[in-house]
Structure 1
Amino acid sequence: MEIWIGRDGERHGPYKEEQVRAWLRSGELSRDDLGWREGLADWRPLSVLFPEETVVPPAVPPAAPPAPVWPQSAPALAPAGFWQRVAAYLIDALVLWIPNLLLGNLLGERQAQAALQQAQMLAGNDPQLMMQAMQAYLHAAAPAVLAQMLLGWLYFALCESSVWQATVGKRALGLRVTDLAGRRIGFAKASGRYFAKLLSAFILGIGFLMVAWTRRKQGLHDLIAGTLVLKGRAATATARSGLDA
């Protein structure tokens, strides 16, 4: 089992359970330090996770295990605020606006809208003709709508599972998307997070507004996917390799 350690507002690890127990016994770790492992909803004191471990000075000190190395650049797990995420989304909307516009023109969405307006004028108050006009519009606009949905999915899922851990908007504001332990997420989890946004939007946008009042600033889609949006950019590949060494 792997354990993450929280000390002075920073996250360190993961470490093997045996290492953490040894550090507790030797005094390298305090029982008041925080710990987290897969399956826990939140960080807990090490005294709660390992109540049986106590620091008892031995008569003849044995060879101590290597002390934990605390990376100086380990990012704190500070969640991004509601308005920061709104600003990031607006930037992403601008990034996607031009390609969505091009897809709409190439795949006939604008022509379908013009045809719908003309059909509505000709239909007048006839509900049957209005229904036929709407069906014709949906049929004509479907390729463009599907292409735009595909673009949005790939944009968010690929960016948030990349080394950036963020879309262009989040990157610009110094934010990143992680799992509940602050780690980089994969493409499958990023995809699940994206499609869970449909549910957040379907319930009158309440799923997005939940970011403003939940404890870890999670929207409904974050709770479903098991993700966080944190302050601080993701470490670069060079920095990570240095820490791993």
Structure 2
Amino acid sequence: MSAPGAASPPAGFWPRYAAWSLDAAIVAALVTALGIGAWRERLAALDQAYAGFNARMAEAMSAAALDDLDFGSLAGRFGADPQTHAAAVALLSALTALTLGWLLAYAAFGLVYETVFVAFTPWRATPGKRALGLYVIARDGGALGPARTVLRYLAGTLSWLTLNIGHLLAAARPEHQALHDRVAGASVRGPARMPLWAWAWLVLQMAAALAACMWLMWTLQAGLENALYGGAL
């Protein structure tokens, strides 16, 4: 397969996002599968810490109700109670161990994934970009190369730290360059239109995000109710 040229126009924000989200799903699945044992252990520890925190909160709320405390006094009691504080610290530690460990593994694997596909294949693109017909080149039309591919990936951190403003720069015409593209002197190019299946993929993501938010709210409420009333049933 011959390498893509620089004739295609710069790719817009939504095709780039759709391609990124496909790659993110692939990398996330691989990271989760490869470290499934470690993630299960950390998830079990988080579940245990969450149950302990809920139980302690239920005890504190029950005691406060018996003492007829108002909300301000209740908040003060939570802050001063060493058992509640210890339960909160244990919950935060378990959550950090799971999320930070997974995110670091994701970032490391993603760096290898991005570099191999963009710098060392004729596609000059990750599988997600390839599916959308996109590819990454230098601004002068040449190959980006391994060093600048790594720089572009690492500079993506700046786009996240700017609360995604760096990513939103990809919507700016005519170059459609995100912050990390500008840092690395890169350009993402491809077809002007996004296929219908890619729009369906975006709608599916929005539906999944909404369902996840509803599930999280239900889980938090159910956990607290179980801690409060479970012993009396």
Q: TM-score, normalising length from structure 1? A: 0.58
Counterpart in the other structure of 2:189: 230
Say which structure, 1 or 2, has more relative contact order (CA 8 Å, 6+ apart): 2
SS of 1:161's equivalent in the other structure is helix
After TM superposition, the structure 1 = structure 2 runs for residues 27-66 of structure 1, keeping only pairs within 5 Å, are none
* Structure ID, larger Rg: 1
Long gaps (5+) in structure 1: 1-72, 233-245
After TM superposition, the structure 1 = structure 2 runs for residues 1-245 of structure 1, keeping only pairs within 5 Å, are 75-76=6-7, 78-106=9-37, 108-123=38-53, 124-125=56-57, 126-139=84-97, 143-162=101-120, 163-231=122-190
CA distances 1:153-210 after superposition (whole Å, capped 9, x unpaired): 1001111112221001111222111111011111111111111111111221111111
SS of 1:215's equivalent in the other structure is coil
Long gaps (5+) in structure 2: 58-83, 192-233
CA-based RMSD: 2.3
Instruction: Return closer, same or farther for 1:88/1:74 CA change in 2, 3 Å cut-off.
Output: closer
Instruction: Return closer, same or farther for 1:164/1:146 CA change in 2, 3 Å cut-off.
Output: same
Measure the CA separation in 1 of the matches of 2:159 and 2:5.
32
CA distances 1:71-99 after superposition (whole Å, capped 9, x unpaired): xx964252111111112112212322321
8 Å Cα contact 1:88/1:169 also seen in 2: yes
Counterpart in the other structure of 2:211: none
SS of 2:168's equivalent in the other structure is helix
Matched pairs, number: 159
8 Å Cα contact 2:138/2:185 also seen in 1: yes
User: Cα offset for 1:218?
Assistant: 0.3
8 Å Cα contact 2:28/2:106 also seen in 1: no
Measure the CA separation in 2 of the matches of 1:213 and 1:114.
44
Q: Percent identity?
A: 35
8 Å Cα contact 1:77/1:182 also seen in 2: no
CA distances 1:80-124 after superposition (whole Å, capped 9, x unpaired): 111111121122123223212213413x12321221122122133
Measure the CA separation in 2 of the matches of 1:194 and 1:74.
22
Measure the CA separation in 2 of the matches of 1:128 and 1:192.
41
Instruction: Return closer, same or farther for 1:115/1:93 CA change in 2, 3 Å cut-off.
Output: same
User: Cα offset for 1:214?
Assistant: 4.4
Instruction: Return closer, same or farther for 1:74/1:110 CA change in 2, 3 Å cut-off.
Output: closer
Instruction: Return closer, same or farther for 1:204/1:74 CA change in 2, 3 Å cut-off.
Output: closer
